[in-house]
Structures are given as C-alpha cells and as structure tokens.
C-alpha cells in the first residue's frame, strides 16, 4: 500500500482541483477542510445580485428560495465553503445593484482580473476589491447615479468602459482619469463634458498613446459634436489643424512640443468620437 500524501502534497493537489469538485471533496473531510482553508481559491466567474451568488457552477442564495433540491444543497455547501475566507481569486466578477453595504449578503474580499458593476454605489463595492488586484485588466461600470471615478482602481485599469446617461450627471472627475484606454456609451452627452476633458488635458498634459472613445448611435449626433468642438477650440485657441486621414473629419490640438491631441470621428460597429494623443 503506497504511503499517504504529505501535508504539502495534499495542499498542492487541492489547489489545482476544479473548484466544484474541490468544494464537494473537502466537505466530506474535516482534515481536508483544515488544509483547504490555507489554500487560495481560484474561480473563473463570480456573480452577486441581491441574495444570489454564483461561484463558477455553484449557486448560493441567502434567502432559501430554491426551486430545486439540488440548488438548495449546492447553496448551503457554497455558503459553508465561503465562510472564513479572507480573499478569493476571481478571473471575472460581476456585481449588480448594491446601493448600501447592508445589501451585500456575504462579506468577501476579491482579487479580480476583470470587474463589471451594474447600477452599484461604487463606494460600497470598492472595499470588496483587494488592492492586489491592481491594475485590473478590464473595468466596466454601468451607472444610473452620480459617481466619483477618481479612484486608483479606475485610474490603473488597463481598459475601462462607462455606460452612462450623461457625463455631466454621472461621472465626477472623469477628466482626471489617468487611464490610457477608456470607452463611453451614453444617451445624452453635452458638448461641455467633452470640452472639460480636452481642456484638462491641454492644461495638465496627457500620455502619448491615450485613446478615449465616445459611442454615438446617430451619425448626425457625431457630426454635430465634432463641428461644435471645432468651433469651440478654434475660437478659444485659434490654431487647429484639420485632419482627414480617418473615415470622418476631425482636427488636432497641440498639447506640447512633442505631442498633440487628435479629435475625430470613425465608424466601426457604431459611430465614435475619438480623442487620441500622439
């Protein structure tokens, strides 16, 4: 009979077992549970909305309103497994609709690679994200209320996207974003909000390679924005250079002796206004 696995060997084996199998396996042994608590948890997907959580294939509901016995069994198992965990490593986390900390059913801390928040109070969900996550690969924020985005998790994200009704009403300090890549989808964007971003870049500079894009669903809206911006900065600065190398017209604004800002429109899957520093 072969000798039993040593403690380090068991830790190594458990760490790389598929999460669902790992949870069911450790639930059968108090000895394995003690070992498992010292091993990082890795999950591909985490979702939390109201009382409902999903960790990969396992579902957990705080209020036991399961439709199937299997869901109830998995829910209780997952709840037991998550208790006492100080941090969980997640490839992609989705948080939905949390306005206050009291609404969060389980107090957890995540190290995430990609994060999407839907209609959350961003200040409430921030404590759930471990600082070791930074810089995260992709951050997507869907908003319906004014939100201050002057946070390190936003600044350091390699790619950040916002879905908002209006920058003026929803995104506070957006002009201060240090991110090099950002996309904005909105229903109504005043010219003054784009002007605010451009003026901040003119005053404080912006890193070469930065590219912000603003999605439009109507060609006429994009054309009107480009025309209005061109008139605004021609009047205030007096030296703009037209550019015609892109699908739609645009212009450039000097930022320094070695960089300039290109403002132009393109059409890919939709119409976009692009601010690009070169």
pLDDT string in tens for the chain (278-residue length): 566 667 677 777 777 788 778 887 887 888 888 888 788 888 899 999 987 888 888 777 655 554 555 555 555 666 677 766 666 899 999 999 999 999 888 778 889 999 999 999 999 999 999 999 999 999 999 988 889 999 999 999 999 999 987 666 678 899 999 999 999 988 777 788 899 999 999 999 999 999 999 998 888 889 899 999 988 888 666 556 777 665 678 898 999 889 999 999 998 888 999 999 99
- Residue 45: Cβ-neighbour burial (10 angstroms; 0-12, 13-18, 19+): middle
Nearest-Å Rg of the Cα atoms of the chain is 24
Q: How far is CA 9 from CA 34, 37, 41, 69, in A?
A: 14, 15, 17, 35
Q: Which residues on neighbouring strands pair with residue 88, listed in sequence order?
A: 110
Residue 246 CB partners (closer than 8 Å, separation 6+): 264, 265, 266, 274
Interatomic CA distance for residues 110 and 104, integer angstroms: 14
């Amino acid at each position: 009979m072969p000798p039993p696995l040593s403690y380090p060997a068991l830790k190594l084996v458990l760490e790389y077992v598929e999460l669902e199998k790992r949870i069911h396996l450790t639930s059968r042994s108090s000895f394995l549970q003690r070992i498992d608590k010292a091993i990082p948890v890795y999950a591909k997907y985490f979702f939390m909305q109201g009382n409902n959580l999903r960790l990969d294939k396992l579902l957990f509901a705080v209020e036991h309103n399961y439709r199937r016995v299997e869901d109830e069994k998995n829910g209780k198992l997952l709840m037991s497994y998550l208790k006492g965990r100080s941090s969980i490593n997640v490839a992609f986390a989705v948080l939905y609709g949390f306005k206050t900390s009291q609404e969060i059913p389980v107090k957890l801390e995540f190290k995430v690679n990609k994060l999407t928040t839907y209609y959350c109070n961003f200040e409430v969900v921030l404590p759930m994200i471990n600082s070791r996550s930074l810089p995260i690969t992709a951050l997507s924020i869907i908003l319906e209320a004014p939100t201050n985005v002057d946070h390190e998790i936003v600044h350091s994200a390699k790619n950040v996207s916002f879905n908002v009704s209006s920058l003026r009403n929803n995104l506070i300090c957006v002009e201060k974003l240090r991110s090099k890549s950002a996309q904005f989808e909105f229903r109504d964007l005043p010219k003054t909000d784009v002007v605010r971003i451009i003026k901040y870049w003119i005053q404080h500079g912006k890193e070469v390679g930065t590219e912000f894009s603003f999605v439009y669903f109507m060609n006429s809206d994009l054309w009107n924005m480009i025309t209005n911006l061109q008139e605004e900065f021609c009047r205030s600065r007096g030296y703009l250079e037209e550019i015609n190398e892109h699908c739609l017209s645009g212009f450039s604004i000097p930022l320094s002796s070695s960089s300039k800002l290109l403002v132009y429109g393109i059409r890919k899957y939709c119409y976009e206004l692009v601010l690009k520093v070169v």
